[in-house]
Structure 1
Amino acid sequence: MSKKKRVFDIDFEDVDVTLESSVPAGTEARRGPMAAAITENAAALTERQAAEAAIRAENDALAHEHVRLKKAGLITDLIPLDDIRTDKLTRDRAPGRDPEIDELKRSIREIGLSNPIRVEPVGDGFELIQGFRRVTAYRELFEETGDDAFARIPAGINAKGENLLRLYRRMVDENLVRRGVSFGEMAQLAINYRKQATEVEGYDHAVELLFASSGRQKRSYIRHFVRLLTETNGQIKHVDTIPRALGLQVVKRLDENPEAKGILNRLLAAKEGRTAEQEQALMSDFVAQMSVTPKKKVKLTTPRAAKTTFRLNRPDGDAKCTVADGRIELRLERDFSGVERKRLEEAVEAFLAALEG
């Protein structure tokens, strides 16, 4: 049998297999389709990762800015009136409808609300911090017109859980720029704050905290009205209408006569359903009565007692001292009502102890 020839047995001569490149010098070899696709995909992936990183950085920056604006109370939104509560802060408003509401409503109708209210997120709603009159005006406009434009009100959204003192201070500062805020209303606000802030030592301390931006004399007047409202046990019905001079005169009579408090409270209790004018007339009669009665008693029953008077030179002025039977009087050009009660008690105790020694 003849031997079959192997088809693939090919003999090659020993030759140099080094091939010269057909690509011109200085240029890259042409890539195949697969290599080009891989390269393009890698480049696209890199670009996508860079874009995602840029988006994340931008989102982080926006989130930080949102938190900053929220803490500053600069985030605003349209809040449904039904979602707004007014429980947290006790308002300084006198009972009854505010006569300035109608003027505010006309302004809102004509030009809109130029100053948003302030609220704090609470549960699924919001607690009102500033803007009680504005909310009242919007509610009345919605009831009167049924216009959905008044069903929601522009509001600045404060950070949640803000300090109670700061909230009251914001209310105070807003009200101080209003015209016609009486000393009685400011005193009532200090009383309300003291009832909520149990860490505050007393009403005088509450006045110092809330009205820190007011002058010393103004704070002194507010403290006198606090005294008036607390001594009468809430029987004064028209706190916002009491003139400053009349309120100070009443407190002065309360200080001069230990029986005056009972007399005033009996007069107030005997006149239920009184108007603001009747209440002021009643208080004026009380001042007149208390101004006359003590003098008559002194003339008839009290002999003139010997007294000693002397002066002390101090850096803050001369202090005039008058000493008599059962009485020591010190006069100095200084508002002692601005001194904390605890410090006054300690000073008097030290003074009496020094006399006994």
Structure 2
Amino acid sequence: MAKKRSVFDIDFTPDEVAPAAPAAPERFPAGNPAPERAAPETPPARRGPMASAITETAEAARGRAEAEAAIRAENDDLAHEHVRLKKLGLITDLIAIDAVRSSKLVRDRAHNRDPELEELKLSIQAIGLSNPIRVEQDGQGGYELIQGYRRLSAFRELLEQTGDQRYARIPAAMVPRGEPVRDLYRKMVDENLVRKDISFGEMAQLALSYAEQTGIAPHDAVSELYASALKQKRSYIRSFTRVLESARGAIRHPEAMPRALGLDLFKILDADPALGDELVDMLNRAPERDAEAEIAVLKDFVHRAPKIVKPRPKSVSKTMLRLPRPEGEARIAASDGRVELRLPRDFSALDRARLQRAFEAFFGALDGE
């Protein structure tokens, strides 16, 4: 009796592929190696819809993160560049002229009419302002003028005369806040040194104001402010500074003082500082004077001042002494206005108070006390 065969129904999905039967091995002649064959390609693994969605979401998130990081890096670079340019004073903006004050720095310009202001206004109307003013933000929405007093004055007059709102705002470069006063003054001074019309009296007045504001000597103020000027020019400024200092504010129009007159005044006051009181009295006797009248008073003072007497030559005779000391021989040379002591001893090593008492005893003995 024949056995009954069992039959099974097997369903195959379209993606399932039956493995191919192994091929029979190829034979090659002796001495000829088998050529290299490329490995059979493995079909890509099939992913389900959920896995594909997760992968796509992760890639999109990674792309957004990279884009955000690039934007942050660019913003950081721009911020650093902004700070760098601001430190250099290269950030320029249009600011309202009413928001600008000029009280922090004493200007080196006289309060009388600037003869070149009309020419500057015509230039601004024709081609605009090519050189912005420089200001410092005050932290309260306003600005303090550092450079550009004439340019700011021209804009204010143009706005008042024409009513054109183009002149209500002025191009300005921002100076970083907190910059030392010395540097601010130097920027103002160095810009104005190139002007031909600035007088020695104006520069001297600025030096005195700077010395008062910083607490240094007027002589040192000239050295700091006008370090870029030639040596001869600094010498003239110091002479005018000495004249204004002697007048104690009585000279109202220093910008009108000619160089020769200022140097004559310096020679007189330097030879006899007490004459400064007479100069002040003469100026005060003309309270309503203008610049021309003040110059007349100063010339009259020079004419009336006593002639400068040359100092008598000092005696060249000397008195020489030799005194024996434990550390060696002390040699003493005494002349007119000078006593010189030579001894192999370090006097700088002595206590200051002890050295002072010794000199007090020395002068007491000379005076017979």
Confirm or deny: 8 A CA contact 2:137 2:144 kept in the other structure.
yes
> Which secondary structure state, in structure 2, belongs to the residue aligned with residue 79 of structure 1?
strand
Please say if 1:147 is aligned against 2:164. Answer: yes
Question: Which 10-residue stretch deviates more, 160-169 or 89-98?
Answer: 89-98
> Which secondary structure state, in structure 2, belongs to the residue aligned with residue 118 of structure 1?
strand
Judged with a 3 Å threshold, the aligned counterparts in structure 2 of structure 1 residues 228 and 60 are, in CA distance, closer, same or farther, namely same
Distance in 1, Cα, partners of 2:274 & 2:224? 32
Picking from 278, 287, 299, the partner of 1:272 is 287
Judged with a 3 Å threshold, the aligned counterparts in structure 2 of structure 1 residues 160 and 258 are, in CA distance, closer, same or farther, namely closer
CA displacement 1:185-206 (0-9 Å, x = unmatched) = 01111111112113x2x11111
Within a 5 Å distance, the mapping from 1:243-258 to structure 2 comes to 243-258=258-273
Within a 5 Å distance, the mapping from 1:171-186 to structure 2 comes to 171-186=188-203
Distance in 1, Cα, partners of 2:110 & 2:48? 88
The structural deviation recorded for 1:233 is 1.4
Identify the residue that residue 112 of structure 1 maps to in structure 2. Answer: 128
Confirm or deny: 8 A CA contact 2:246 2:273 kept in the other structure.
no
Picking from 238, 256, 260, the partner of 2:275 is 260
Identify the residue that residue 246 of structure 2 maps to in structure 1. Answer: 231
Question: Which 10-residue stretch deviates more, 143-152 or 24-33?
Answer: 24-33
Compare CA radii of gyration and give the structure with the larger one: 2
Please say if 1:69 is aligned against 2:85. Answer: yes
Percentage identity across paired residues of the two chains: 52
Distance in 2, Cα, partners of 1:21 & 1:97? 106
Distance in 1, Cα, partners of 2:175 & 2:18? 74
Structure 2, unmatched stretches of 5+, are 1-5, 21-39, 318-334, 339-358
The structural deviation recorded for 1:29 is 2.6
The structural deviation recorded for 1:288 is 2.1
Identify the residue that residue 356 of structure 2 maps to in structure 1. Answer: none
The structural deviation recorded for 1:251 is 1.2
Judged with a 3 Å threshold, the aligned counterparts in structure 2 of structure 1 residues 258 and 143 are, in CA distance, closer, same or farther, namely closer
Distance in 2, Cα, partners of 1:151 & 1:306? 67
Identify the residue that residue 34 of structure 2 maps to in structure 1. Answer: none
TM-score, normalising length: structure 1: 0.75
Question: Which 10-residue stretch deviates more, 283-292 or 188-197?
Answer: 283-292
Please say if 1:205 is aligned against 2:220. Answer: yes
Please say if 1:85 is aligned against 2:101. Answer: yes
Please, what is the CA RMSD of the aligned residues?
3.0
Within a 5 Å distance, the mapping from 1:21-100 to structure 2 comes to 25-100=41-116
Please say if 1:125 is aligned against 2:142. Answer: yes
Count of residue pairs brought into register by the alignment: 295
Judged with a 3 Å threshold, the aligned counterparts in structure 2 of structure 1 residues 259 and 120 are, in CA distance, closer, same or farther, namely closer
Report the AA paired with residue 261 of structure 1. G
Distance in 2, Cα, partners of 1:237 & 1:196? 20
Distance in 1, Cα, partners of 2:41 & 2:313? 127
Structure 1, unmatched stretches of 5+, are 1-10, 299-303, 311-322, 329-348
Distance in 2, Cα, partners of 1:218 & 1:305? 30
> Which secondary structure state, in structure 1, belongs to the residue aligned with residue 72 of structure 2?
helix
Judged with a 3 Å threshold, the aligned counterparts in structure 2 of structure 1 residues 307 and 96 are, in CA distance, closer, same or farther, namely closer
Please say if 1:287 is aligned against 2:302. Answer: yes
Picking from 176, 196, 215, the partner of 2:230 is 215
The structural deviation recorded for 1:209 is 1.1
The structural deviation recorded for 1:21 is 6.1
Distance in 1, Cα, partners of 2:254 & 2:19? 105
The structural deviation recorded for 1:215 is 2.1
Identify the residue that residue 135 of structure 1 maps to in structure 2. Answer: 152
The structural deviation recorded for 1:102 is 1.1
The structural deviation recorded for 1:25 is 3.8
Judged with a 3 Å threshold, the aligned counterparts in structure 2 of structure 1 residues 305 and 73 are, in CA distance, closer, same or farther, namely closer
Judged with a 3 Å threshold, the aligned counterparts in structure 2 of structure 1 residues 12 and 160 are, in CA distance, closer, same or farther, namely farther
Judged with a 3 Å threshold, the aligned counterparts in structure 2 of structure 1 residues 21 and 237 are, in CA distance, closer, same or farther, namely farther
Runs of 4+ in 1 over 3 A off after TM superposition: 19-25, 304-310
Judged with a 3 Å threshold, the aligned counterparts in structure 2 of structure 1 residues 33 and 242 are, in CA distance, closer, same or farther, namely same
CA displacement 1:52-96 (0-9 Å, x = unmatched) = 110010000001101111111111100011111111111112122
> Which secondary structure state, in structure 2, belongs to the residue aligned with residue 78 of structure 1?
strand
Distance in 2, Cα, partners of 1:64 & 1:242? 49
Higher helix proportion, which one?
A: 1
